[in-house]
Amino acid sequence: MPPANELTIQDIWALFQETDQLIKEGAKETTRRFQETDKKFQETDQLIKEGAKETTRKFQETDKKFQETDRQFQEIAQRFRETERLVDKTSKSIGDLNNRIGEIVEHLMSPDLKAKFGALGYRFEKTARDISISDAEGGFIAEVDVLLENTSLAIAVEVKTKLSQHDVDEHVNRMEKLRRHADTHNDTRHYLGAVSAAVIKDEVRDYAFKKGFFVIVLSGDTVNIVRPSADWKPRTW
């Protein structure tokens, strides 16, 4: 009988078998865990791929929406350009029409102005239309629709289809330019101003009086020179 605590071949063999069983079981567990880990990696990879596909889809949808928005903006811009072109064309047509009407008004009143101003005590030897005034270098200074002249006096008449306060202010500026031009040419004549139109509102007419202008209105086939009162005097430039 072997001594106590002494391992026999059978004991050692049993230990080897037990250890081998533990190794096999450990290997199975390790394999199982590797398989679970691999499965999780595969699931994660699948989720990443699905996420990437979803992200790509959303980017494509967003890009499509941007393209549609850009197309709509392009259409709106094209409509604005077309509207602007029509407005420009309409404005030009209206401007041409106003110019023609202004020319007609100017043509109708010019022959009567000498006689009408003559009735107020002004005698003019010369009447001219569409006078363009330039400086010594040929630079534009002002344009006068109708100019009545004699050796001591000149009246510059601004003719409009419809007179506005702005037109009156512009004529004040024109008169000041005419005065400076006359001074540079030793022209000592007095300059008076008048405004005329087919349509003149009462407040614009009164504003013109305050600025010292005669107001000329169409009356049938002739013209009338309006003054606010008998003691009113025109401004002299």
Please check the confidence at residue 65 and state whether its pLDDT lies above 60: yes
Task: Please tell me the chain's helix, strand, coil percentages from 3-state DSSP, rounded to the nearest 5.
Answer: 60, 20, 20
Distances (CA, A) of 228 to 101, 158, 163, 202: 27, 19, 17, 11
Q: How confident is the model at residue 35 (pLDDT cuts 50, 70, 90)?
A: confident
Q: What is the pLDDT of residue 111?
A: 63
Q: Give percent of the chain with pLDDT exceeding 90.
A: 36
Residue ranges per structural domain of the chain: 101-226
| Per-residue DSSP letter, 51 | H
Q: What is the pLDDT of residue 202?
A: 94
Quick: pLDDT tens for 8-22.
Answer: 777 666 766 777 677
In which region does residue 194 sit, left (phi positive, over 0), alpha (psi from -120 to 50) or beta (all else)?
A: beta
Average pLDDT over residues 168-196: 96
Most confident of 30-44, 51-65, 177-191: 177-191
Pair of tokens at residue 84: 């602007």
Q: What is the pLDDT of residue 79?
A: 74
Question: Is CATH 3.40.1350.10 correct for 101-226?
Answer: yes
Q: What is the pLDDT of residue 151?
A: 95
